[in-house]
Amino acid sequence: MAEDQYPQLHLDNQLCFSVYTLSRLITQAYQPMLQALGLTYPQYLVMLVLWQALEKGRPATQGALPVTVKFLCEQLQLDTGTVTPLLKRMESNGLLVRRRSAKDERVVEVDLTDSGKTLREQAKHIPADILCQTGVDVEQGKALRDELKGLIRQLAAPGS
């Protein structure tokens, strides 16, 4: 029987397997740092969105725009089946609060607690530490990130 009848099925040849493995290894690399803050990696991603929203207060208004569950799902490209329980765990850990919007009772708004806001200072060193561990320099990292974003755009396209 001939060897290598199906080279396209070999693990080492597969781009997809490399992405899958790298993704898991990255999560594992974050784990010790995030554990010190009481966060998991997906929870950290939620915090990134919420922290970023703190900076987006419109001038001459009372403060930040409300972040909704829908907005979080869009930003993270996760569905409510993942995000709702994630937010519940984070709420019970005292990082944020959830409440129904007064204007539209369907909408749930998410707000950082003071404790959640404070955590940002302790998190700001993390991206540099990770970059250091992976050994990529800043420019190479940007180029790679943009290449991956291109693939994401392809796969997320409605007509895929």
Partner DNA sequence: GGTAATTATATTGTGTGCAATCTAATTGAT
Partner DNA sequence: ATCAATTAGATTGCACACAATATAATTACC
Where do contacts with its own copies occur on this chain (CB under 8 A)? 1, 3-6, 8-11, 13-30, 41, 45, 48-49, 51-52, 55-57, 75-77, 120, 123-124, 127-128, 130-131, 133-136, 141-142, 144-145, 147-149, 151-152, 154-156, 160
Question: For residue 80, with 0-12 CB atoms within 10 Å meaning exposed, 13-18 middle and 19 or more buried, which class applies?
Answer: middle
- In contact, 73 and 79? CB cutoff 8 Å: yes
Q: Which of residues 70-109 bind DNA (CB under 7 A)?
A: 70, 73, 78-87, 89, 98, 103-109
Q: Where are the alpha helices (DSSP H) in the chain?
A: 15-37, 41-54, 69-76, 80-92, 114-123, 126-134, 138-156
Dist CA 36 CA 95 (whole Å): 14
Q: How far is the CB of 5 from DNA (least distance, A)?
A: 26
The binder of 26, among DNA, its own copies, none, by C-beta within 5 to 8 A per type, is its own copies
**Which residues sit at the interface with DNA, rule CB under 7 A?**
20, 24, 27-28, 31, 40-43, 68-70, 73, 78-87, 89, 98, 103-109
